[in-house]
Amino acid sequence: MNSRLSLLASLALGLGLPQVTVAQSWMPGFVSAELVGSWRTDRGTQMTALRVRLEDGWKTYWRAPGDAGIPPDWNWRGSANAAEITIHWPTPQVFESGGLRTIGYAHEMILPIEVVPADPTQDVWLAAEISFGICREICVPVLVNVQNLLQGPGEATPDIIAAIAALPEIRTGIAHCEIEPVLDGMRVTAKIEMPRLGPREIALFELAGVSSWVSESVNSREGDVLTSMVEIVPYDSRSFDLERRDLLITVLGGSRAVEISGCPI
């Protein structure tokens, strides 16, 4: 069962509990940020969600924001009994402006957050300092502090359930990559075997372990094979070995997304 289905299966448990947040000062475009909800999954992990609300016309960014976006940065100092923290990213939107492509969410962003407790018999105290960008005609950096006491069993609200339902489908073994060196980096050409997801398909590439710039993908489709090409250049311009297992490809099409981990030959 993939992570989306597993999380959805856990939502019917228990009673809701209050959350604690730190109020934020007003700035253009920004409304609020808070950790909302608390419930336990059938795997024994604790769940909550970050909800960011923006004024109409404003947007914020996905984990890989594209050409001009600001990626979120997380600092979990102050948390207690949190052995492992995983942020689940619902399917984002693609924005085109001034010849630049950015990836993110308009008006509101809800990110389910899953925590493995160090001691499963104790509550989790989750505290985060989060920096992220919001944009309209101008872009504004935002720094927020949010907190929540996570206790089980609990339950999720309908908007968090919808965010979990919007997580990408997880598939493996459907992408095969050719890799060749280019000036200061590597070119990756992936052939992804799957039916068309929807209109305006694009593929987004991420590379774990290497701080790098990734070009916009060039995409074409022939039948059930989507071909996507990007160039990856480390920010320090040093030579590097591109490990195929460290590639993460997310294909967006319409309102759907598929996430593919690893890209063998």
* Domain boundary assignment for the chain: 3-165, 169-261
pTM over cut 0.85: yes
Q: Do 169-261 and 3-165 have the same topology in CATH?
A: yes
- Measure Cα distances from 33 to 23, 52, 109, 147 in Å: 8, 4, 9, 10
In 115-220, which residue ranges form alpha helices assigned H by DSSP? 158-165
Tell me the pLDDT tens digit for each residue of 52-74.
999 999 999 999 998 878 889 99
Q: How many CB atoms lie within 10 A of CB 223?
A: 8
Q: Which two tokens stand for residue 51?
A: 């909800």
> Residues 187-200: pLDDT tens digits?
999 999 999 999 88
CATH architecture assignment, domain 3-165: Sandwich (2.60)
Task: Look up the CATH number of domain 169-261.
Answer: 2.60.40
Question: Cα–Cα distance between 128 and 143 in angstroms, integer?
Answer: 10
